[in-house]
Amino acid sequence: MGRVKFIYVRREDGTRPVLEFIANIAMVAKQGNPDFTRMAIEVTNGIKAIEKTGIPPWTLINEQPFYIETSTGKSVKFELLKRLEYNFPLIEFRVNIGSYPAGYAFRMVLFTHYYQGREYVFVTNAMIKRQTSSPGFEEIVKEAANIYKDFLRCPTKYIQMGDWYERSKQS
């Protein structure tokens, strides 16, 4: 059992928006879109880097870059995380492919919690931005803040989500 565990937050209707969103990116990548292929690779590498090292304390996130190993074995500095300043303890997971307006900016919103010596990373939602400022991104941040408030009322409900997901995969 690793020390970092990702939990993709499930909605009341049973859906997991982030898993579905990432699956759609993979589907577009398999259809031959080079930007989405690169995005799928970088998102996967970013998640693996977090699983390996954990997430720094919220106050240090903007100061501590990640180093991600590329397919050639080189370690590359990567600004993977950014704290959402006015939404403690929310964190933005960032992967940029190209630059605006032609590029894509993959964003996931998450928060962390330590429980019984393990870091849990709760991923609430994801999107692709095509411009610097995005009302859609503001909406997923607002949704994540509401999920976090609910999490504070009943953390074990969310921690058990991950356990439920692991058990259903093994069945």
| pLDDT greater than 60 at residue 170 | no
Tell me the CA end-to-end span of the chain in Å, nearest whole number. Answer: 18
The rounded distance, in Å, linking the Cα atoms of 147 and 67 is 29
Note the pLDDT of residue 139: 94
Residue type, 137: F
The overall average pLDDT reported for the chain is 85
Tell me the mean pLDDT in the region 91-115: 88
Note the pLDDT of residue 117: 86
Note the pLDDT of residue 100: 65
Tell me the mean pLDDT in the region 79-90: 91
Note the pLDDT of residue 77: 66
| pLDDT greater than 80 at residue 151 | yes
The rounded distance, in Å, linking the Cα atoms of 106 and 122 is 17
The rounded distance, in Å, linking the Cα atoms of 76 and 68 is 5
Query: Could you tell me the two tokens for 168?
Result: 């259903």
Residue type, 123: V
The rounded distance, in Å, linking the Cα atoms of 115 and 133 is 35
Percent of the chain with pLDDT over 70: 85
- The residue that leads in pLDDT, 77 or 144, is 144
Largest CA distance in the chain: 45
Encode pLDDT of 14-32 as tens digits.
888 999 999 999 999 999 9
| pLDDT greater than 80 at residue 81 | yes
What residues form DSSP beta bridges with 105? 96, 129
* Residue that is written with structure tokens 């989405």 in the block: 36
Tell me the mean pLDDT in the region 37-42: 91
